[in-house]
Amino acid sequence: MAEIMGIGMFHGPQPGLTDETMANVYFKLTLANPDTPAELRDPANWPIELQKEWGDDEALSAARAHREEAIAGCRRARAIIDEFAPEVIVIFADDQYENFREDVLPPFCVYAMDECGLGGFREGVPGGSGPTAFARPLEKPPLQETLAGSRRIGTELANELVLSDFDVACSWRLHHLTRLGHAFSHSIDYLDWDRRGFPYTVIPFHVSCYGADLKVPAAGGKIVPGRLMEGVDQAPPASPTPRRCYDLGRRVAEILAASPYRALVIGSSSWSHASLTPMHGYLWGDVESDRHHLEQLRQNQFAAWRDLSPDELRASGQHEMLNWICLAGAMEGRRAEVLAYAETYVFNSSKCVAAFR
């Protein structure tokens, strides 16, 4: 049997932004929004952890610390990847009205391409509502322009999944992008932070994490940065359930184990997003729930994520955790090592990095 290991990580933009503008995504915008309840805009009513993070410099020093912790975890992950030397990497990540739009919104899709372009945040998305509209990226050497993939391996993986009753889509080309969307590109960016190149064969695996909360421009719908769509007459179709994601991930691992390829599986996302939950007026996420999931991870109880409620995940802004749940299924029976946990109230989402062996 082929060897397999896993990496859990994030792709949120904050570590790649300047200290001065990191809190713009989306805390400062939400703080200034008149629709945010007045009591939540008063720092006296914030959790003490948030007050400390905001400090007397509007989270400027906290931004630097957040990046340092998150990137340190990615550097540790990269060292583990290089030591493992995978022949193929499967990355579970999501799409946010980037490559998949009104013409097709698949629950899952394997990208089976021999080469993939690497892009930036929200390339080609109308409206300019992504972080680059009100935040500045760090100045650093550019990421490599392309990533090695495999039409053959990706198609074989899709074939085996379909024959196992997982009706996944398979794409031999991108639809609305010329380069991979931000979830995949940012993952490679963080894993290659020191710009040594990323020489591995990658199979991007799309998971429809946003489902009914995907921000699809619609008549009567109001798109506000850092908030869910409001007043939508027809929501997009639902995300696959945590149970389905876990079971699919488990089957992916079985297929890879039976293949001739030394394989790495990555699940990429932060957990609770302030921008996805109204529970604190979109100012901060469900940090307490994230802490619970972190403890489950440390205790190697991540199989429990299979039974998470889809409604509870959405209520907590943990939509993207489905990528980690796919990874959890693939890593069933293995042990997790937390490499970094950059908790935050200000920077939209806490960011965890972990290795599974």
0.85 exceeded by the pTM?
A: yes
CA nearest neighbour of 71 among 195, 232, 247: 195
Q: pLDDT tens digits for 207-221?
A: 999 999 999 987 667
Q: Give the tens place of pLDDT for each residue, 144-190.
A: 999 999 999 999 999 999 999 999 999 999 999 999 999 999 999 99
DSSP state of 55: T
What are the boundaries of each domain within the chain? 4-356
- Average pLDDT over every residue of 228-251: 95
Distances (CA, A) of 45 to 33, 344, 350: 17, 17, 21
For residue 139, the tally of other CB atoms under 10 A from its CB is: 6
Which of these, 15, 10, 22, lies nearest to 136 by C-alpha position?
22
46 sits in the region (left: phi over 0; alpha: psi -120 to 50; else beta) called: beta
Express each pLDDT in 71-93 by its tens digit: 999 999 999 999 999 999 999 99
Cα 284 to Cα 32, 248, 281, distances in angstroms: 14, 31, 8
Q: Is the pLDDT of residue 125 over 50?
A: no
4-356 folds as Protocatechuate 4,5-dioxygenase; Chain B (3.40.830)
Task: Give percent above pLDDT 90 in the chain.
Answer: 90
